[in-house]
Structure 1
Amino acid sequence: MPMRHVFAPTTGRPGHAGQRRQPDRLRRWTAKALGLSLVLATAGLAGLPAKASETLSFSYGPLIRSLKVSSLQKFAADGTVEDDLAFFLSLVKPEDYPSLRKALTEKAEVDPLLVSRFFNSNIGEDILERLGKAITLLRGGNGMPILRAALVNASFSQDGLSLLSVLEQLPANIQIHGEKVLGAEKATKRVIAATERLDTVMGQLTAEEAKGDAPADFAALPDPRKPGSRAVSKEVWNLTDSRRNRSFYVEVYRPTKPAAGPLPVIVFSHGLGSSPEDFSEVMQQLASHGYVVAAPQHPGSDAIWLKEMLRGLHKDIFDVQEFSNRPKDISFVIDELERRNASRFNGQLDLTKVALAGHSFGGYTVLALGGATVDRAFLKEECERPYASLNVSLLLQCQALKLPPEQLANLQDSRTAAVFAANPVNRSIFGKQGLGNIKVPVVMASGSYDPATPPALEQAASFTWLNGPDKYWLIVQGQAHVNFTKIDPGIKDAIESMTDITLPSQGLIGNYMKGVALPFVEVYLRKNDSYKPYLRSSYAEYLSKDERFKLFMVSARSSQKLSEAIEAFRKEYPAPRD
């Protein structure tokens, strides 16, 4: 995707211990993530087998050159460079040949049946249609059906899904447009450059803010990462919103012996393909400090829906109605808390001002409730940009265009007092105008290795577009969007072996989140100013001073410098055009 909102050039890098090799590792990680997405994107839909071509046709403007598939096979097998392949390798250094050979043959470990179902969804079709503009029929038709056949045949073949096996399956009547392929490569490199620049800029801005912070002895202060003094009980409520004919469960965490006076409330929205249970640790933590925390299931975009989709029971990864249903779920939960306040909570719940937290799609959800409005015109413009398929989060947001405008209006809940949005899907669906409507305090949290909602694409500009004085942006180095231990502990090992990088432990990420989440709600719900020092950049430096993966955190004080950095990056790295 052509990024208009990324980072400015700077000199030098902050001297974070253990991080000097991270840029190269980050480059490999980002390239692998984007490359794997590109391969998978073309792998999904069943088609009729076609006779494989013995040659491939490449064009660049009026120039057309052919390449024998056998030349690629020889090169992959033993490094032989035939004359026709030599033309294409003329600008490649021989020392880079081994990595190219590996790229040709490295197999994507994916279940062909599950891939087929996944990419039979609207998002999958969208990706394939975009890729079909670069791999077309000879007479210019979109190559989407060709890619279906070639990729499915390759994924079910004995060799498995790899770049070479896909090329071997392409039929004779196709043309690969070199200018579009090179444009995609340029866009990918731009994403990588922006991601690397982000690490540098956020480190510098964190250090600059920390120098201006009032001194604080954090070692002598209470540790907000530790559990509170109250025991916690958990209840599960089964609710039905008859107005929408929608039933779902809600997990409710509460202190068993709350203190006298009002009980502050937090409502949490899980991410796409997730569940409330995945976030039980942080909800337990907050409840032990005297909060009531409620986390509803979102039935059209949760783990149950995803499992059913992979079994063939749904076409799409999520129900597009979730763009409106999710915020309404949260509002309905707050309504239900009001209904049960007297009988279950002795009337102690303070529901006039509620904190909302959400992850990923849940980040979109709570930002909408906090006042962000959908900018349909901006979203449409973003979705029509070339190379939009490089940002999976954008493709998800583009699905909202299938809904009538009135369905995405009036999602705000006036009871929202503060918003904590982790790895939020947000930039294109709200835009500058929509995010500028938020008036409540906001924390955005990001992960530097996040391939699903990359911070350079999804949160950088968004942070600058927030107009309120009480805003914070934190980035955990190495965080990769999801808690792998809640999905499959083996995935983390696979990523580390595939990308030659090390991811931070989930315990470290959790400690960073706890260290900021509790102070945020203490300050903006309980009006407890004693927790304000924890919302400073100097606290982020304190938390991560001995850690390999750092926590960066900036406030509204850095917003203007970040905006200037974004504009400078745009000039240094012009967006590739279709």
Structure 2
Amino acid sequence: MRLSRRAAMAFGAAGVAWMGAPAMAQAMPAPSRFDLTGPGGRRITVTQWNPVGTPVGTVLFSHGAASAPHYYDLILGPVVAAGWRVLAPLHVDSREHPDTAHYPGLASWKARLEDFAALTDHIGHVPYVAMGHSYGGLTALVLGGAQSVPPPGWTGPQCDGKARAVIAFSPPPAIPVLITKEGYGKLAVPAIIQTGTIDVMPGADPKEPEPWKAHLDAYEAAAPGGHRYGLVLEGVSHYFGGLICDFSQKGPPAVQGIKDANRIAGLFLAAYGRGDHRARVRLDAAVSPNLPVRLMMK
């Protein structure tokens, strides 16, 4: 089944044309790459960034549709600098994947689940934080217990229960063929879900006063009392003005938005990835209904 253009754009699949790195650079250590074997012998290439010294933990990252891991230095750099090892598969929906033409529409969703089944098996009994952007934000939420509509040919659980927490940048709203609000409500771990006030899906109802709120479906559906946070950044688009995922997107670059996103996500990562009580106190103290950085908690 092919997704409609509107649904595909909800997680960043359309209009991607790589135009080179943004001017705002983030120092990153040189990554390494290795291959895993998926169902049917499919090759899954994983990019790995290791921090200086002993890692404090593991982050599994999922890129947006049509993108690739190396377009996310501005949000992954601070994670690696904080001591985390980051592992990120190249999904079949990436325009850089050699076999992308063989995985139209929802075929890519099954492959994404397979990518992380292979990767979590590879790391063994190691807890991790799941992190992702757009389509990858949905992927991360499913690793944290949210339940998608099972793709054709998929049986059994969609996650392994090893995720400690989830960081989801602009995940898609509920899309009936992919995930429902009830499915998002199955989220089982602490999570932070981010969007921006100009993060609007193509085709959104022009009469809707705040159409960007659709990206908070996962936050709204999650049960209260489970350390769930919703983050809204003023003037931030789906791509932070072309700073992540797709460098060709319309600016201006949301430089302050990236800084605010990294600051809040960093506190969350320390609080729920490492169990840092002081970071959790600081995170909860940042809860505010006011823009430019609106942080909600339930």
Q: Provide the TM-score with structure 1 as the length reference.
A: 0.42
- SS of the equivalent of 1:257 reads coil
- Structure whose alpha-carbon radius of gyration is higher: 1
Structure-2 change in CA distance of 1:514 and 1:488 (3 Å): closer
Identity %: 20
Q: What is residue 533 of structure 1 aligned with on the other side?
A: 281
- SS of the equivalent of 2:110 reads helix
420, 425, 433: which one aligns with 2:167: 420
Deviation string, structure 1 residues 144-181 (Cα, Å, up to 9, x no partner): xxxxxxxxxxxxxxxxxxxxxxxxxxxxxxxxxxxxxx
Please tell me whether residue 123 in structure 1 is matched to residue 7 in structure 2: no
Q: What is residue 250 of structure 2 aligned with on the other side?
A: 492
Q: What is residue 234 of structure 1 aligned with on the other side?
A: 30
The whole-number CA distance in structure 2 between the counterparts of 1:554 and 1:123 is: 32
The whole-number CA distance in structure 2 between the counterparts of 1:282 and 1:456 is: 22
Alignment map for 1:14-413 (pairs within 5 Å): 123=4, 233-258=29-54, 263-298=56-91, 300-304=92-96, 314=101, 318-338=104-124, 351-375=125-149, 403-404=151-152, 407=154, 409-413=156-160
Structure-2 change in CA distance of 1:464 and 1:236 (3 Å): same
Instruction: Tell me the amino acid that sits aligned with residue 257 of structure 1.
Output: G
- SS of the equivalent of 1:457 reads helix
Please tell me whether residue 464 in structure 1 is matched to residue 220 in structure 2: yes
- SS of the equivalent of 2:31 reads strand
Structure-2 change in CA distance of 1:244 and 1:356 (3 Å): farther
174, 179, 192: which one aligns with 1:443: 192
Q: RMSD of the TM alignment (CA)? A: 3.2
The whole-number CA distance in structure 2 between the counterparts of 1:320 and 1:265 is: 28
Q: How much does 1:437 deviate?
A: 1.9
Q: How much does 1:337 deviate?
A: 3.1
The whole-number CA distance in structure 2 between the counterparts of 1:420 and 1:287 is: 15
Q: How much does 1:482 deviate?
A: 1.2
The whole-number CA distance in structure 1 between the counterparts of 2:287 and 2:255 is: 18
Structure-2 change in CA distance of 1:234 and 1:445 (3 Å): same
- SS of the equivalent of 2:137 reads helix
Equivalent pair of 2:185/2:223 in contact (CA under 8 Å) = yes
Q: How much does 1:368 deviate?
A: 1.3
Q: How much does 1:236 deviate?
A: 2.4
The whole-number CA distance in structure 1 between the counterparts of 2:233 and 2:81 is: 25
- SS of the equivalent of 1:237 reads strand
Structure-2 change in CA distance of 1:287 and 1:449 (3 Å): same
Gaps of 5+ in 1: 1-120, 128-226, 339-350, 377-402, 494-502, 557-578
The whole-number CA distance in structure 1 between the counterparts of 2:102 and 2:107 is: 14
- SS of the equivalent of 1:552 reads strand
Structure-2 change in CA distance of 1:535 and 1:304 (3 Å): same
The whole-number CA distance in structure 2 between the counterparts of 1:439 and 1:468 is: 11
Instruction: Tell me the amino acid that sits aligned with residue 256 of structure 1.
Output: V
Structure-2 change in CA distance of 1:407 and 1:287 (3 Å): same
552, 558, 561: which one aligns with 2:294: 552
Deviation string, structure 1 residues 352-410 (Cα, Å, up to 9, x no partner): 3210001110011111111111357xxxxxxxxxxxxxxxxxxxxxxxxxx43x52652
Structure-2 change in CA distance of 1:552 and 1:277 (3 Å): same
The whole-number CA distance in structure 1 between the counterparts of 2:140 and 2:121 is: 16
**Count of residues in Structure 1 that have an aligned counterpart in Structure 2:** 267
The whole-number CA distance in structure 1 between the counterparts of 2:274 and 2:95 is: 33
Structure-2 change in CA distance of 1:532 and 1:263 (3 Å): closer
Structure-2 change in CA distance of 1:474 and 1:320 (3 Å): same
Equivalent pair of 1:360/1:424 in contact (CA under 8 Å) = yes
Structure-2 change in CA distance of 1:333 and 1:540 (3 Å): farther
Give 1 or 2: higher helix fraction. 1
Q: Provide the TM-score with structure 2 as the length reference.
A: 0.77
Instruction: Tell me the amino acid that sits aligned with residue 554 of structure 1.
Output: M
234, 241, 249: which one aligns with 1:477: 234
Q: What is residue 514 of structure 1 aligned with on the other side?
A: 262
Equivalent pair of 1:324/1:408 in contact (CA under 8 Å) = no
Instruction: Tell me the amino acid that sits aligned with residue 39 of structure 2.
Output: R
- SS of the equivalent of 2:286 reads helix
The whole-number CA distance in structure 2 between the counterparts of 1:511 and 1:540 is: 17
Equivalent pair of 1:232/1:255 in contact (CA under 8 Å) = no
